[in-house]
DNA sequence: AATTTGACCATAA
DNA sequence: GTTATGGCCAAAT
């Protein structure tokens, strides 16, 4: 599911769990992403944030939370210690919303 | 078998 | 804005 999140957008742990068919399993999504290396390239782990629109910080992450901020900045998402919260109505991604946009932009097509 | 541990969440103060 | 609390759930103690 994380692979489907487009650049410049973010999704929440809760959303990813629900989309994967496991509503209520937000924590497990976090544990799964924790296993990934910060060098990971095929899975955009940095596009997953908590339900407040903030990066989940933890000393156990060994700085991967800071790296997450840098990568999000590189994709045009303004987040910093001064602006710690991402506006999910602007940058949040919802597959249903994407479908709606798609049918508006390209009617008579099947996604 | 019971307790602890978290990249979580909703609510309350 | 913030912290605290109780709930959640699987895996590891």
3-state DSSP call for residue A88?
Answer: helix
Mean pLDDT of chain A: 89
Binned at pLDDT 50, 70 and 90, residue A3 comes out as: very high
Binned at pLDDT 50, 70 and 90, residue A74 comes out as: very high
Q: Where are the alpha helices (DSSP H) in chain A?
A: 13-19, 26-35, 64-74, 88-91, 95-105
pLDDT score of A1 more than 70: yes
| pLDDT confidence of residue A95 | 79
Beta-carbon contacts of residue A23 (< 8 Å; ≥ 6 apart): A17
pLDDT score of A83 more than 50: yes
**Residue percentage of chain A with pLDDT more than 70:** 86
Nucleotide nearest to A58 (CA to C1'): B7
Tell if the pTM clears 0.85, that is, is over it.
Answer: yes
Rounded to whole angstroms, the distance from the CA of residue A78 to the C1' of nucleotide C8 is 31
3-state DSSP call for residue A47?
Answer: helix
| pLDDT confidence of residue A101 | 56
Rounded to whole angstroms, the distance from the CA of residue A74 to the C1' of nucleotide B13 is 37
Rounded to whole angstroms, the distance from the CA of residue A44 to the C1' of nucleotide B11 is 31
> CB of residue A6 closer than 7 A to nucleic acid strand C?
no
Q: Mean per-residue pLDDT for A12-27? A: 97
| pLDDT confidence of residue A99 | 56
Question: Which CA-bearing residue is nearest the C1' of B9?
Answer: A51
Question: Using only C-alpha atoms, what is the Rg of chain A?
Answer: 15
End-to-end CA distance of chain A: 17
Residue with more model confidence, A25 or A98? A25
> CB of residue A7 closer than 7 A to nucleic acid strand C?
no
């Amino acid at each position: 599911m994380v692979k489907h999140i487009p650049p410049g957008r973010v999704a929440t742990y809760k959303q990813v769990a629900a989309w994967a068919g496991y509503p209520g399993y937000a924590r497990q999504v976090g544990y799964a992403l924790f296993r990934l290396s910060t060098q990971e390239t095929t899975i955009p782990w940095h596009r997953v944030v908590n339900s407040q629109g903030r990066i989940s910080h933890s000393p156990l992450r060994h700085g991967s939370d800071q790296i997450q901020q840098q990568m999000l900045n590189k994709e045009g998402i303004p987040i910093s210690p001064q602006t710690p919260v991402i506006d999910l109505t602007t940058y949040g991604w919802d597959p249903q919303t994407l479908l709606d946009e798609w049918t508006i932009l390209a009617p008579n097509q099947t996604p």
